Structure 1
């Protein structure tokens, strides 16, 4: 019985950790607002929130974010 409970707990915890896995995305845009609106649109399509994790500027803006479910 103890082994059964342990196996059940491990299975449940594994399912929880896979369900909370965050996805990283990156976009390029001509302005910061343009890049962030692209990220917001992708997050909305995925039914998730987002957190911007980085950006860089050159000829274009490159922005990365993590989608949070």
Structure 2
């Protein structure tokens, strides 16, 4: 029974993590899409993929269908800003 509960927990967490990345990164403003604001994120990992993931998650949380990273910087502590579209 414990194994079954663990399996369901793993499936639920995996599904939840994919749902947070529903926003798609774009290189320019999508035609016909409306800008609905900006999101920002930072990470201490120094890994750009982690920063992109955090920006994607925040964009999805705000209801965006896509996002465009407009600024990123740092060395060991990365930060970034993205414009979000719906």
Deviation at 1:21, TM superposition (A): 4.2
Of residues 43, 59, 79 in structure 2, which corresponds to 1:62?
Answer: 79
Q: Is the 8 A contact 2:35 2:84 kept in 1?
A: no
CA RMSD, 1 decimal: 1.4
Deviation at 1:50, TM superposition (A): 0.4
Task: Give the number of aligned pairs.
Answer: 50
Q: Which runs of 5+ in 2 are unaligned?
A: 1-33
TM-score, normalised relative to structure 2: 0.51
TM-score, normalised relative to structure 1: 0.62
Q: Extract structure 1 runs of 4+ deviating beyond 6 A.
A: none
Q: Which runs of 5+ in 1 are unaligned?
A: 1-19
Match of 1:52 in 2: 69
For the pair shown, the structure with the greater C-alpha radius of gyration is 1
Structure number having the greater helix percentage: 1
